[in-house]
Amino acid sequence: MSDESTPQPVTPSVTILAKNNGPFLVDGPFRLVDADGNEYDVPAGKKVNLCRCGGSTRKPFCDGTHSRIGFEAAERAVRAADEGEATGQAPQGGQATAGGQAPQA
């Protein structure tokens, strides 16, 4: 019998890939809605590129403008344990951080 207070692992059904210097590629069954809750037409079963450079004329979808404007996205998922090594701070768990930066070469 499981303890209801223990968080159960959740298997994500959607994957969002932050493409190199490009859009977010969303893969999986999802709904995309605007600020008013109106749903965008998203083809079922298709991967969708969402603009993160801010330059698309088809927002929230990517139209390729990121390539023309030289959008650079340097972020990488960095685990907190790795950040601790880089900064000399104690590691805090093992989760990737949203604001993680790519290691400098």
Residue ranges that bind ligand FES, judged by CB under 6 A: 22-23, 51-53, 55-56, 62-66
**Closest distance to ligand FES from the beta carbon of 84 (Å):** 31
Q: In whole angstroms, what is the distance from residue 72 CA to residue 62 CA?
A: 15
**Closest distance to ligand FES from the beta carbon of 23 (Å):** 4
Token code pair at residue 35: 């600020």
**Closest distance to ligand FES from the beta carbon of 32 (Å):** 15
Closer Cβ to ligand FES, 51 or 78, answer by number: 51
Phi, psi of 34, deg, nearest 5? -85, -175
Q: In whole angstroms, what is the distance from residue 63 CA to residue 69 CA?
A: 12
